Copies of this chain bind each other. A is one copy, B any other.
Amino acid sequence: MKFEVTILGSNSALPTTKRYPTAQVLNVLERFFLIDCGEGTQIQMKRFRVPMSRINHIFISHTHGDHIFGLIGLLSTYALQGRKSDLHIYGHSKLEKLITFQLELLETKKQYNIYFHTIFGKETQTLFEDDKVIVQSFPLKHGAMPCAGFLFKEKDRPRTLNADLLDYYNVPIRCRQSLKMGEDFVTEEGEVIPNKKLTKDPPPTRSYAFCTDTAPYKKIIPILENVDLLYHEATFLKTEAKLAKATYHSTAEQAAKVADEANAKKLIIGHFSSRFKTLNAHLEEAKSVFENTHLAEDGKKFSIELNR
């Protein structure tokens, strides 16, 4: 029942030897989602033992190089490995052009299908949904560049049955599904047993939000409300607030304010400018606003526990 993100790259535009450009893998109940794919992502996946072949969905925030230049290499590796399962890629329309052109020009022989799903970018959009998980995109504020944040959420779980009381009231098996869905139980004698007597609340659903690249953006606060784990970019420190504003990025303090206003449970900051050799100042600056802040570091994993 995992809900865990692995940081594959934590740097902004110019990679360093310790911080690769942006990429993360999120495991939600054994669904593996790749989020962004900077240069070297496939190597980082090997380094940190991510099960590369189990990724069927790739979400790309925007088409700046440090978020996409590892994608063509990954797709080619899948082709060489003989991958057969479908791959879904979610991104803005340029991404499809970029990848399709390369695959065609290089005559990449592959046995799997790629399905591109366009993020239109003006409003919240459901990109992926199955019985247990939903993924939505929402617009960020990155100047002229269309850029999407992503919200990964578990769906509400069925209610947990209380086995002892089911026996006591002789609830037949055929009625149990409706109990899980919250309905009351009516005995053969017509007595109504309230659902709450026979079931317990399920564990709360878990959620992860990914916000990069972006200036601080009030409009996303309601979307992020109560999120368990928030990744928010913090390219700069508040001493570079002017530069952050000019380039549509955030400072560590601004990232922390977003977490605070959204009532997030935990914050990861990342997408650090390569000008910073160490990141203590980022951490301190963010913690002064939002205590439960952590640094994105290549290879680090962050889990959300089921019962917390």
A146 within 8 A of B: no
Interface with B: A74-82, A117-125, A176-184, A259-267, which one?
A74-82
A43 and B40 contact, CB distance less than 8 A: yes
Q: Chain A, 86-101, contact with B by CB distance < 8 Å: what is the 0/1 string?
A: 0000000010011001
**Nearest B-chain residue to A145, judged by Cβ:** B107
Which residues of chain B have C-beta atoms less than 8 A from A63's C-beta? 106
Minimum CB distance partner of A20 in chain B? B43
Contacts of A39 in B (CB 8 A): 39-40, 42-43, 69-70, 73
A134 at the interface (CB under 8 A from B): no
Contact flags A56-67 to B (C-beta < 8 A → 1, else 0): 000000011100
Report the nearest B residue to A72, measured CB to CB. Answer: B69
Is B72 in contact with A46, judged by CB distance below 8 angstroms? no
Question: Interface size on A (CB < 8 Å)?
Answer: 31
CA A72 – CA B105 in complex, angstroms? 15
| Smallest CB separation, A96 vs chain B (Å) | 11
A279 to B187, CA, bound (A): 73
Query: Chain B residues near A46 (CB, 8 Å)?
Result: 15-17
Q: List 10 A-B contacts (CB under 8 A).
A: A13-B77, A39-B40, A39-B43, A39-B73, A40-B40, A65-B72, A69-B72, A94-B106, A98-B106, A102-B102
